[in-house]
């Protein structure tokens, strides 16, 4: 997946791949690999890929997105039925059907929050990809107890079948043809009024492409969560009614409601850099009651836009504040419109002027840090508001298999703070490395919870280690060694002992292995049943349900039918997808419970188990 190419609508990719002959479909993955290595040149809305010295593929990205099949042209002799057009669409980022640019000028046309920071993990129970932790708006009225339409049921089953086929093959085997089938199903689901299922399916394709292209930003955990969400949502849609169905359908655009006058205080800004080709910045603010609001500037782009958007003017009223300035200043807004997730609209009637800001240790922002950490974690696990406002003492660094992380004490809880994004153009990891040298410093931070054990969070912003009146946005501001205390010494990182604190890894690694290697790899690596198997070990350690679903996953992966001559028949992906989904949901529920226990919080696992609800 090339970030230099414009996003291509799912329907376009599906149409071009479907038009290929069977012979060319077999060669498509190899064609994608060759085209991905070719030079790309941008000329306004036109993007050229040099196939060879004499032939170019041209993508016309009107408005930043390729939305029609005829917007991709090739100069080879076989065009328009050539391999190059389908390969170009398949190597480009996947566009949302309603791409996000700037805020819409009127409330009813405000786009869905698809500019969610890429640092936030995907929760299978999350109804819409919106920034978490924001002020919850008015609760929608209960929907009538009506079921899904025939068109929606058919679309949900098509997405489910296509996602199950991707799981069956694993990222290693899910080539461009399987991806295109899932994209076509996602487009059909969107047309049928199932935008949530469509968005989840597109996230799966994006993750598969990132895995196959060895994208450094690829995270297997995100792909696992996206696949679980896709299978879980589409499994429930045909049987859901009323409010449950409304939640499963999701919304294309967030409703913006009038919220009168607001007095806001800047908290911090975080860069957005998504695998789908969008980049920018989200600035977080709070009002006097501690409710959170966001202002965003996200559009198609790459790392340069993610780092540069912080210095762009906020598109809200007549204010000339940049996002970086707003994160330290204040804002007085009249005629405000706010989405249910706290995102501020930029309609024509909105007025905004600069106002005085507030320090983190002064009112009204000080109250955000007054809630106990356990209470904040419980809120993050149960309500999806995953920002944590913590006061920590830095203890140094610890080495893990994925790299070094910052170790801190948070009211007696040993907390690991990790980089929110791995892109080298963002200073997250460098800042963590420097902060590890400020051992003993007591700082207030803003972090995003990562469920699991040991306690872990993504560091988003922190007080300056030597200037109590300054703040550091971990993804935008770059600390220098001169910013550290005079006696700071960078000690070699400690080494974590091998092994998990809990045996959940026995289940979780098989869930992850299935997504990477597919059903066949899981069948070959199945542990023995009985007293010697992983399932029995989980049961002996008190995780009986986890042991049962793991045994079922192994058994389902190994089942293959044969015809009268002993030849293997084509496998049915549905039973394996069902067993895998049960294992993924079980692992998620246990992980949330372990996370809550580590923080001394209470977790509600209903959102995870709800993925399997089937009446």
Q: What is the pLDDT of residues 386-402, one digit of tens each?
A: 899 999 999 998 888 77
The pLDDT of 367-390, averaged and rounded, is: 92
Q: What percent of the chain has pLDDT over 70?
A: 85
**pLDDT band with cut points at 50, 70 and 90 for residue 66:** very high
Q: State residue 215's pLDDT score.
A: 82
Cα-based distances in Å from 336 to 209, 272, 355, 402, 511 = 40, 24, 16, 43, 45
The pLDDT assigned to 131 comes to: 36
CA–CA gap between residue 61 and residue 29 (Å, rounded): 23
Query: Which helix (H) or strand (E) segment is 609 a member of?
Result: helix 606-609
pLDDT tens column, 282-308: 999 999 999 999 999 998 788 899 999
Rounded to 10 deg, the angle between the 220-236 and 573-599 helix axes is 120
Query: Is the predicted pLDDT of residue 197 greater than 90, yes or no?
Result: yes
Query: Which of these, 329, 294, 306, lies nearest to 420 by C-alpha position?
Result: 306
- The beta strands (E) that lie in 369-455 are given as 387-400, 403-410, 413-418, 442-450
Percent of the chain with pLDDT over 90: 63
Q: Integer distance in angstroms from the first to the last C-alpha of the chain?
A: 40
pLDDT given at position 497: 47
Q: What separation in angstroms does the CA of 396 have from each of 202, 385, 417, 594?
A: 39, 28, 11, 24
Q: Which residues of 135-277 form beta strands (DSSP E)?
A: 257-273
Planar angle of CA 502, 503, 509, nearest 5 degrees: 120
The arithmetic mean of pLDDT across residues 583-606, rounded, is 84
Torsion angle defined by CA atoms of residues 210, 215, 217 and 221, in that order, rounded to the nearest 10 degrees: 50
- Return d(Cα 161, Cα 577) in angstroms, integer: 9
Residue 348's pLDDT is 83
> What 3-state class would DSSP assign to 164?
helix
Please compute, for residue 321, the number of CA atoms within 13 A of its CA located in the half-sphere on the CB side. Answer: 25
Cα 522 to Cα 178, 185, 292, 574: the distances in Å are: 20, 26, 44, 16
263 DSSP β-pair partners: 332
For residue 40, what are the β-bridge partners? Answer: 49
Residue 362 φ then ψ, to 5°: -115, 160
Please state which of the ranges 215-224, 544-553, 606-615 shows the lowest mean pLDDT: 606-615
Compute the distance between CA of residue 615 and CA of residue 239 in angstroms, rounded to an integer: 6
Q: What is the DSSP string of 496-562?
A: PPSS-SSTTHHHHHHHHHHHHHHHHHHHHTPPP-GGGSHHHHHHHTT-HHHHHHHHHHHHHHH---B
Stronger pLDDT, 249 or 128, i.e. the higher one:
249
Question: Quick check: 282 and 293 in contact, CB under 8 A?
Answer: no
- Do 158 and 212 contact (CB within 8 A), yes or no? no
Pair 390, 419: CB distance under 8 Å: no
- Residue 78 tokens read as 């076989």
Region 588-592: what's the mean pLDDT?
A: 92
Residue position matching structure tokens 């939305």: 67
Half-sphere exposure of residue 426: CA atoms within 13 angstroms, side-chain side: 32
Where does the pLDDT of residue 494 fall: very low under 50, low under 70, confident under 90, or very high at 90 and above?
low
Mean predicted lDDT score pLDDT of the chain: 85
Q: For residues 396 and 246, give the distance between their C-alpha atoms in angstroms, rounded to a whole number.
A: 47
Strand partners, 317: none
> For the chain, percent helix, then strand, then coil, each to nearest 5?
40, 20, 40
SS3 482: helix
| Residue 100 confidence (pLDDT) | 34
Pairing of strands 330-338, 403-410: unpaired
The dihedral built from the CA positions of residue 180, 182, 183 and 184, taken in this order, carries a sign that is: positive
Confidence label for 3 from pLDDT (cuts 50, 70 and 90): low
Mean pLDDT of 192-219: 92
Of 546, 555, 541, 537, the residue nearest 507 (C-alpha) = 546
């Amino acid at each position: 997946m090339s970030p230099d190419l414009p996003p291509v609508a799912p329907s376009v990719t599906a149409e071009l791949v479907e038009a290929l002959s069977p012979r060319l479909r077999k060669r498509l993955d190899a064609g994608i690999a060759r085209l991905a290595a070719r030079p790309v040149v941008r000329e306004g809305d036109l993007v050229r890929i040099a196939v060879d010295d004499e032939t170019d593929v041209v993508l016309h990205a009107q408005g930043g997105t390729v939305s029609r099949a005829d917007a991709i042209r090739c100069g080879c002799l076989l065009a328009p039925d050539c391999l190059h057009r389908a390969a170009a669409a398949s190597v480009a980022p996947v566009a949302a059907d309603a791409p996000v640019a700037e805020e819409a000028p009127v409330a009813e046309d405000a786009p869905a929050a698809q500019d969610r920071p890429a640092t936030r993990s995907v929760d299978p129970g999350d109804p819409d990809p919106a920034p978490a932790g924001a002020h919850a708006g008015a609760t929608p009225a209960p929907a009538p107890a009506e079921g899904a339409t025939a068109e929606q049921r058919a679309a949900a089953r098509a997405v489910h079948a296509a996602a199950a086929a991707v799981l069956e093959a694993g990222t290693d085997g899910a080539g461009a043809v399987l991806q295109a089938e899932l994209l076509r199903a996602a487009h059909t689901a969107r047309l049928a009024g199932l935008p949530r299922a469509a968005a989840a399916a597109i996230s799966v394709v994006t993750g598969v492409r990132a895995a196959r292209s060895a994208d450094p930003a690829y995270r297997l955990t995100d792909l696992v969560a996206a696949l679980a969400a896709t299978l879980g949502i589409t499994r429930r849609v045909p049987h859901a009614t009323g409010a449950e169905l409304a939640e499963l359908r999701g919304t294309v655009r967030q409703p913006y409601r009038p919220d009168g006058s607001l007095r806001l205080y800047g908290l911090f800004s975080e860069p957005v850099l998504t695998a789908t080709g969008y980049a920018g910045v989200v600035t977080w603010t709070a009002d006097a009651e501690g409710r959170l609001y966001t202002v965003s500037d996200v559009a198609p782009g790459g790392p340069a836009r993610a780092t540069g958007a912080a210095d762009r003017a906020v598109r809200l009223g007549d204010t000339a504040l940049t996002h970086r300035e707003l994160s330290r200043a204040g804002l007085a807004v009249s005629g405000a419109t706010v989405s249910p997730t706290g995102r501020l609209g930029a309609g024509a009637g909105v007025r905004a002027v600069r106002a005085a800001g507030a320090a983190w240790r002064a009112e009204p922002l000080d109250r955000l840090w007054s809630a106990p950490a356990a209470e904040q974690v419980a809120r993050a696990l149960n309500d999806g508001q995953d920002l944590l406002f913590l006061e920590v003492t830095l203890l140094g660094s610890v080495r893990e298999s994925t790299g070094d992380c910052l170790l801190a004490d948070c009211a007696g809880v040993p907390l690991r703070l990790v980089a929110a994004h791995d892109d080298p153009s963002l200073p997250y990891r460098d800042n963590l490395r420097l902060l590890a040298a400020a051992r003993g410093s007591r700082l207030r931070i803003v972090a995003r919870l990562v469920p699991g054990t040991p306690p872990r969070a993504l560091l988003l912003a922190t007080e300056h280690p030597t200037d109590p009146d300054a703040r550091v946005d971990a993804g935008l501001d770059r600390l220098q060694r001169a910013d550290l205390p005079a006696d700071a010494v960078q000690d070699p990182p400690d080494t974590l002992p091998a092994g998990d604190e809990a045996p959940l890894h026995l289940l979780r690694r098989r869930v992850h292995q299935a997504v990477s290697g597919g059903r066949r790899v899981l069948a070959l690596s199945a542990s023995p049943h009985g007293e010697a198997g992983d399932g029995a070990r989980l049961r002996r350690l008190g995780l009986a349900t986890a042991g049962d679903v793991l045994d079922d996953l192994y058994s389902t992966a190994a089942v293959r039918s044969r015809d009268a001559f002993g030849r293997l028949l084509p496998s049915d992906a549905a039973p394996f997808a069902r067993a895998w989904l049960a294992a993924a949901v079980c692992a998620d529920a246990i992980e949330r419970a372990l996370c809550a226990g580590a923080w001394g919080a209470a977790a509600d696992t209903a959102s995870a188990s709800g993925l399997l609800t089937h009446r």
